[in-house]
Structure 1
Amino acid sequence: MKTYFPFIIAALILTVASCGSKDDLEAKKENLESKKKEAAALRTSIEALEKEIAEMDPDFARENRKSVLVSTINSKLGQFDHYIEVTGSVLSKKNVSISGEVSGRVQEINAVEGMQVKAGQVLARVDAESILRNIEEVEKQMELARTIFEKQERLWNQQIGTEIQYLEAKNRIESLEKNLASLKTQESRTLIRAPFSGTVETVTIRLGELVQPGTPLFQFVGDSDLFIEADVSERHIGIVSRGDSVDISFPSINETFKTKVSAVGSIINPNNRTFKVEVFLPRMQNVKPNMISVLKIKDYENEAAVTVPNYLILQDTKGDYVFLVKDGKSEKRYVQRGKTYREETEITEGLDGTEVLVDKGFREVGDGFSVNIAQQ
């Protein structure tokens, strides 16, 4: 019996201690919950008092407003360029439709679409059999006419015969010579040749097809004398002029270069209120007619312009404004806009280029708000 007694005493002590600790924990939890309710009630009371005082004292409201976390950006002072951006299309002064000049059946087609050819190269051949027969007939008539003329000339030199006979023989041979030259010209036109070096864009005839004078045979584009044509709004009249510098870009081939305005139209299109602008295009390997391009024509520049990002400029009934950071507070500053190009706007009044502007968080502040600048 003595052996087990100490163990029983120890077990009883542990049981009492555990019960005591559990009761103490529950009491602390209840006390914490009570304190939280008291704190919530006190916080609600404080907020209500602050609101009432703020309505009665605006200075108190500004001093006790919570700081807003913002980031900042500096206004810029320097070169500002404004460009007119329009879309243009590459054209060629040597974009022609080659048509038939004589009647006949197509006997040979030497060109295919996309083929590069040289000036004078034969593209197709039209049947010339009827013309050749006429040439043979005229040549035989010329042999007889030449013989008659030679004999008549000898007689006339001997004062035999009349002058009328001599002149008729001479006129006959000259008329046949002109007729023969005309037929040979027609024969040469049965060969359809490239008028200049370039590319065959389309072939609109088929082998064996009967063609007439004026029938379209090929669409042909020269590989030189390319230019860009664009429509510019009439509000830019007097701004864009011949010789102005132009930045050209081709989105499809990712190439850019500088060139000049070569011509400015003098007529306004009544349908879209634009005028034509022509830009010189140097020879480039990958540039093709009808390719789309983007033209940037500089119409304004200021070497000492104050600029800010577009998105920072807000507006109310009084005008445009931005928020500055000054002495730890935000300041509402009204400004006068100038020109805008892409993401930047010129400020003509209100800023001098040394200001620190509210960037991120600019929509959460007001005039006189306390701000906390985030470290970037």
Structure 2
Amino acid sequence: MKRWIAIGLVVLVLGGIIVYNKILHPAPGAGAPGASGGGNGKGASDAKGGAGGGKNGPGGGGPASVNGFVVISQQLREDVVSSGSLLASEQVDIYPEISARITQLNIREGQPVSKGDLLVKLFDTDLKAQLQKLQAQADNARRTEERNKQLLERGGISQQEYDIVTTNLRSSLADIDLVKANLQRTEIRAPFSGVIGLRNVSSGAVVSTSTLIARLQQISSLKLDFSIPEKYGSAVHTGSLISFVVDGSNKQSQGVVYAIEPGVDEQTRNLRIRARVNNETAGNGQPLFRPGTFARVTLTIQNEQSLVVPTQAVIPQTRTNQVILVKNGKATFRDVKTGLRTAGTIQILSGLQKGDTVATTGLLFLKQDAPVKIGKVITIPGTGPKVAQN
């Protein structure tokens, strides 16, 4: 019962609104009920004007007024920002080749060393004694070989007996070479010039082949490893310049690409790149960068003059993009190929020329060949180069 009462009230309210609008308060220009549109037709004329949308409105008789933009050429730069790591130009962990006791330790922690400098000397007395013994045996075998050679020439011994003597001599000489090689393993020398790190052993300690003595790094120049998406691979080459910033410093530093991984990583689809960085010393004599430091790398892919239009001038389509070109007072829809996109502009690769005028407002109401009037010409704020970040 209550529901029917509510429905009845709604019907009465709606009926009252209709009666008020149609009979008691008709719209301007509309005739009274029963009128056939007599008189001078003023009401009909007003209604026609309302339907037309005004002189300059969409669908009106006059040209639509829109804002325009004159296509310009602007410096446009595309940067790829990536994370990288600074690495030592050369680096080696120093391990002994044999197990022995340290008899001499020439490591000055944190100090530079030259290639060939003796860093560690291991116990070698037993090897030296063995070498003296083998040298004495080799001298005896050499004299025996000389005597038997003379006997062979006179026919005193057979060729087989002489061959046995020469074999013993060569064996003694090989044993000597082996002991000399073991003696060289008791000396650990710097393989290249660099800076020695913190040592992990002391003089007199017994070390094995798994004992890390120290780390040697060459840091006069550093390597900078970073990766970029594979689609930018064709834009980078050996000799390309990069800039980077390390944590704790706002200074932009430079590097030069000198090596590119030939293949793309299958997991990340990134291309690994390596650059060379000159590790200059600061005022206190310390190098500016240390190996292992995180770096934010910026690689400039493109930096050239390009045609640009405001973002609002481009109409996205299913398979292409369009702009409305205003020419000779008419609107022409033009397909364009776009490139880089910045905060307020889009790069135009093809479809427009410098000096063309495109509409930036009223795009939804304009039709092909519709009359258009440029009410205001807009400009892009800022005069510096636009940067597209990836």
Give the TM-score range, shorter chain.
0.5 to 0.7
Residue of structure 2 aligned with 1:262, choices 259, 263, 269: 259
Shift of 1:153: 2.6
Task: Return closer, same or farther for 1:218/1:258 CA change in 2, 3 Å cut-off.
Answer: closer
Task: Return closer, same or farther for 1:240/1:217 CA change in 2, 3 Å cut-off.
Answer: farther
2:206 corresponds to 1:210: yes
CA distance in 1, matches of 2:296, 2:236: 18
1:96 alignment counterpart: 92
Task: Return closer, same or farther for 1:261/1:174 CA change in 2, 3 Å cut-off.
Answer: closer
Contact 1:241–1:261 (8 Å) recurs in 2: no
Contact 1:202–1:220 (8 Å) recurs in 2: no
Shift of 1:168: 1.8
CA distance in 1, matches of 2:277, 2:293: 12
Higher helix share: 1
Task: Return closer, same or farther for 1:257/1:358 CA change in 2, 3 Å cut-off.
Answer: closer
CA distance in 1, matches of 2:293, 2:220: 15
SS class of match (1:203): coil
Task: Return closer, same or farther for 1:163/1:76 CA change in 2, 3 Å cut-off.
Answer: same
Residue of structure 1 aligned with 2:298, choices 285, 296, 299: 296
Contact 1:77–1:307 (8 Å) recurs in 2: no
Q: Which is higher, the Rg of structure 1 or of structure 2? A: 1
1:113 alignment counterpart: 109
CA distance in 2, matches of 1:291, 1:246: 20
RMSD: 4.0
CA distance in 1, matches of 2:254, 2:220: 18
SS class of match (1:281): strand
2:340 alignment counterpart: 339
Corresponding letter in the other structure for 1:178 = A
Q: Which runs of 5+ in 1 are unaligned?
A: 1-56, 60-74, 319-335, 360-376
2:245 alignment counterpart: 250
CA distance in 1, matches of 2:174, 2:123: 23
SS class of match (2:197): strand
Shift of 1:94: 2.0
Shift of 1:358: 9.4
CA distance in 2, matches of 1:117, 1:78: 53
Task: Return closer, same or farther for 1:350/1:192 CA change in 2, 3 Å cut-off.
Answer: farther
Corresponding letter in the other structure for 1:245 = S
Task: Return closer, same or farther for 1:293/1:133 CA change in 2, 3 Å cut-off.
Answer: same
Task: Return closer, same or farther for 1:347/1:160 CA change in 2, 3 Å cut-off.
Answer: closer
TM-score (norm 1): 0.59
SS class of match (1:262): strand
Residue of structure 1 aligned with 2:74, choices 51, 72, 78: 78
Give me the identity figure in percent: 17
1:122 alignment counterpart: 118
Residue of structure 2 aligned with 1:136, choices 126, 129, 132: 132
2:38 alignment counterpart: none
Corresponding letter in the other structure for 2:301 = D
Task: Return closer, same or farther for 1:168/1:87 CA change in 2, 3 Å cut-off.
Answer: same
Contact 1:84–1:298 (8 Å) recurs in 2: yes
- CA offsets per residue over residues 199-253 of structure 1, 9 Å max, x none? 223423333332234543332222467321102234x344443236333233355
Within-5 A mapping of 1:168-247: 168-213=164-209, 215-223=211-219, 226-234=222-230, 236-243=231-238, 245-247=240-242
1:6 alignment counterpart: none
Task: Return closer, same or farther for 1:86/1:344 CA change in 2, 3 Å cut-off.
Answer: farther
CA distance in 2, matches of 1:354, 1:83: 31
Task: Tell me how many residue pairs correspond in the alignment.
Answer: 269
Shift of 1:155: 2.4
Task: Return closer, same or farther for 1:170/1:356 CA change in 2, 3 Å cut-off.
Answer: closer
Task: Return closer, same or farther for 1:77/1:228 CA change in 2, 3 Å cut-off.
Answer: same
Contact 1:112–1:200 (8 Å) recurs in 2: yes
TM-score (norm 2): 0.57
CA distance in 2, matches of 1:192, 1:113: 16
Task: Return closer, same or farther for 1:265/1:147 CA change in 2, 3 Å cut-off.
Answer: closer
Contact 1:113–1:203 (8 Å) recurs in 2: yes
Within-5 A mapping of 1:13-162: 78-162=74-158
Q: Which runs of 5+ in 2 are unaligned?
A: 1-49, 55-70, 282-287, 318-336, 349-357, 361-375, 383-390
